[in-house]
Structures are given as structure tokens and as C-alpha cells.
Structure 1
Amino acid sequence: MAHSHSTQNPVIEQQRMIIPNKHGEKLVGLLHETESKEIVILCHGFRSRKDYNTMTNLAAALEIEGISVFRFDFAGNGESEGSFQYGNYYREADDLHAVIQHFSGESHVVSAILGHSKGGIEYRVTEEALMDRLRTDMHEACLKIDKECRVLTVHGSADEIISVEDALEFAKVIPNHQLHIIEGANHGYTSHQTELASSIVKFIKSALEQDKVSSK
């Protein structure tokens, strides 16, 4: 299933793809192919999907810059197989690893991973899933991020789900980190989609330029 967009921008082909994870579940995604070497992976939030407006808006913004994008549904969400689970960081990491492996070949290099949210609405939770989430030491996880890995956190000052203070705390411990706070933005960036996209595109383009300079 593929179609092309005839715009003034580079020719973009959108192709529905299925990538199996290590648990044998089929992950469904949409590839926005601009024929760039670099590709950005978009990861949706808790009980969301690849077609959430933030995901589609970010894909469109990157397309305009000629950067290929892949957005997909984690297992148990959207069109992907599997059952929905709460607090399944490790299972979602497995899904993401499968996607990265798929695109880590001669035609593409995964240049960035973008993710939105991870919770905040009503859910049915099992004891096992809750303990999995509680056992996750975020501080320790942040310290394990490679210093060569550039990290951007974008957070709304009016986020009603996750306090902006959390973003400030992450900024203290994540190496090679930039924090961009969008004044007045809520958790879904309802009225701030343009600023969200522009800040992310600016960060990615800057990182790609730095990589080109360092590789010479």
C-alpha cells in the first residue's frame, strides 16, 4: 500500500509496513520515504497510536525537510498485534529495537528517535505491570545514556499530566541534553503543534549538520 505526494518538496512515498518483534507479534507502521539516508523513528505515547495528530504533524514537518520518517504502533496498540499492557517499558524497548534493526541497513541510518508521553489516562493495571513500572529507576536509566547521544526534551509549562518539574529534574542528570519549555502548552500540545514541530526539526537538523562536519 503506497502512494506518492506531488508537492514542491522532495517526492514522498508513504508505505504501510509490517515488522515482527522478537515475541512474534506484527508491528504495523507507516514509512514516509523521502529517499534520505537518515530516518527518524516516531514513538507514540500511552494508549495512543501512530496516527495521533502529534505523530502525523511531526512526520509532515520532517518530510518537508526531506527527512524520511517511520511511525508505528507498539504491540497491543493501534493496528499492531499483541495485548495492551501498562508499564511495559522493556516490551516496548524490544519493539523499538526490532524497528531500528529493520532500518539499520545500507539504505537508511536511524538518526533520531522521537517519543511522546507515556501515561496519564484511565487504565486497567495488573500487579505485575505496576511493579514493572515502579521498579524502573529513571535516574539510573538517565545516567546510562551515552554522552555522545544528543537528547532534547520538549515540555509544556501547562502540562496537566506530567509536571514541568520532572523535565527540569531530567535536565540535571541527562548528559548532552537540551530542554525546551513551551509556555502555555498542555500535555498534548493542543494549541502548540507548530512550535513543538519547529523545535524538534531545528534540533534534528542541527545534529545532522554536526554529524556531517565531524565525519569530514
Structure 2
Amino acid sequence: MAQPSIHEGQSLPVIQQQRVIIRNKYGEKLVGVLHETGSAELVILCHGYRCSKENKTFKNLAAALEEEGISVFRFDFAGNGESEGSFQYGNYRREAEDLHAVVLHFSEAKRLISAILGHSKGGNVVLLYASTYSDVHTVINASGRFNLERGNESHLGTDFLQRIRIDGIIDVKDDTVTSFIRTQFSLVYSTNWIFSPVVAMQPLRQINGPSLSGSILFSDFFKILKLGIINFLRANAAS
């Protein structure tokens, strides 16, 4: 199987950024940006909770991968950024389906998806994707949540389950006074799903960075993240 074209000392590729629109299985338009280096291999970036493809860390990471001759596609999940659809708090399986639509689009265009990389919530989405589908063999989880039962109360309130059971929906307002609606069905998928043993059997490389406030965004140690990912891809390409 072809691997990413990662060679130290190679000349820098000419980068072209292309806006790409892909429809998911529900007919919603997913908007993304393709960083085209001319390589057949492609790494897909998946953003986190209430984020988008325009996240500074993602844009910097795309630039770093470009320098290695790797083409990159970053996109907005449905209900986020420029993509169509309604924002939902959990929605992991729907986002995995969005990712599948993206993978199918580029696979049909004869591109090799060499890796999927998810940050924060996106890290959980790529793991769920790998446990559901078998078409991408390199998965990178950057700061995905390890316990999905934690954190819901801070976003939804301590009585969120009771309110959803009574009303069927929940209206939540954040610091920017933006409201969104949750259903009990999507809550089940945010707190209660199990990855396939296939994922657990894969080699694991863990990168530890400084314990800093806001470090999930990697703003204070982006270089560690960048080198860790590039070295991981190089190791996979050599294996």
C-alpha cells in the first residue's frame, strides 16, 4: 500500500488551496479546504466541539504537513462552521458518518487516505470511525476525551437528564447566549458507546506535553504536537 511521501530534505511542494463541498448521507453540504501538494496521499483533519476547519491549530498543522509534501483536507462537520445542518451537542455517530462521506468522496477520486486526525471531540470521532469502518488504517487522536460521562453537567446543568426525560429536549445557553437543542437520543450516544476491540489492538504512541491551562488547544506547545504527528506518520510509512 502506498504511504505518505515524507522525506527529510525534499524540496517544498507548490501548495494550492481548493474549496471543496461534499454532501453527507442526509444531503447536507460539508464545506472543506483541500491543501493540494500533488501527492496521491491525503490526511483528513477533524475539528473538535464547537470548532471549525478554521481553527488556528488546524491551519498551522495543515501548513506543517504541507511542508512534508502531504496533502491535507480540513472540513466542517454538519452544523459547524460553513457546513449546512443544525449544531448538536453529542452527535458522534452523525459526525463519523460525515467523515465517511468525506473518505468516500476522495477514495472515489483515487486518493489514498493515509490518515485521519481528530482533535478533542474530533479525536473521539476518528476512533469511533475506525471502530465502525475499516478503510483507513492510521488514526491520530489529539486530546480526545477519555471519559465521555464527564463534562456534560458543566455544559448542560446538573439536572440535564431529568429535564430531557420530562421534556424530550433541552435548551442550553452558553456564555455567548447562543442556544441549541439536545435530544435524549443523541445524549445516549455521547455518554454510552464502546469502541471495537480492533482499535484497542493497534499500536499506541502517547505524546505528553506540559500541563498548562488551555493546553488542549496546543497553543503553548504546538511544536511538540507537530513533530509528534510527523514522526508518527514517518514511522508508519517506513513500517
Q: Contact 2:37–2:71 (CA<8 Å) still a contact in 1?
A: yes
Give the distance between the partners of 1:14 and 1:122, measured in 2 at CA: 36
Q: 8 Å contact 1:44–1:117 — kept in the other structure?
A: yes
Deviates more, 1:100-109 or 1:30-39: 100-109
Q: Secondary structure at the match of 1:182?
A: coil
Partner residue in 2 for 1:162: none
Alignment check: 8 A CA contact 1:18 1:27 kept = yes
Give the gaps of 5 or more residues in structure 1.
1-7, 146-172, 211-216
Once the 2 structures are TM-superposed, how far is the Cα of residue 142 of structure 1 from its aligned partner?
Answer: 4.8
TM-score (normalised: structure 2): 0.68
Distance, in Å, in 1 between the alignment partners of 2:23 and 2:109 is 20
Change (3 A) 1:98 1:194: same
Q: Is this contact kept in 2: 1:15–1:30, CA < 8 A?
A: yes
Matches within 5 A, 1:159-178: 173-178=200-205
- In the alignment, is residue 133 of structure 1 matched against residue 190 of structure 2? yes
Query: 4+ residue runs of structure 1 moved beyond 6 angstroms?
Result: none
Distance in 1 (CA, whole Å) between partners of 2:155 and 2:192 is 21
8 A contact 1:143–1:175 mirrored in 2: no
- Give the letter for the 2:198 counterpart: K
CA contact (8 A) 2:210 2:221 kept: no
Aligned residues: 173
1:144 aligns with 2:198: yes
CA distance in 2, matches of 1:17, 1:178: 32
Which has the higher mean CA deviation after the structures are superposed, 71-80 or 195-204?
Answer: 195-204
Kindly indicate whether residue 56 of structure 2 is the aligned counterpart of residue 29 of structure 1. Answer: no
Alignment-derived partner of residue 180 in structure 1:
207
Larger radius of gyration: 2
Q: CA RMSD in A?
A: 1.8
Provide the C-alpha distance between the structure 2 equivalents of 1:182 and 1:174, rounded to a whole number of angstroms. Answer: 24
Cα separation, partners in 2 of 1:142 and 1:189, compared to 1, 3 Å:
farther
After superposition, give the CA deviation of every residue in 1:159-187 in whole Å (9 maximum; x if it has no partner): xxxxxxxxxxxxxx453211111133521
Report the AA paired with residue 96 of structure 1: L
Residues 71-124 of structure 1, C-alpha deviation per residue, up to 9 Å, x if partnerless?
000000000000011211110011000000011146410000000001767463
Look up the equivalent residue of 1:176 and give its one-letter code.
P
Conserved? CA contact 1:21–1:95, under 8 Å: yes
1:1-216 correspondence to structure 2 within 5 Å: 9-105=12-108, 107-118=110-121, 122=155, 124=172, 125-137=182-194, 141-145=195-199, 173-185=200-212, 186-210=215-239
Give % identity: 51
Give the residue type in structure 2 aligned to 1:180: I
- Structure 2 alignment gaps of length 5 or more: 1-10, 122-144, 146-150, 157-171, 173-181
CA distance in 1, matches of 2:56, 2:39: 24
Instruction: Name the structure 1 match of 2:128.
Output: none
- Matches of 2:191 and 2:201, distance apart in 1: 20
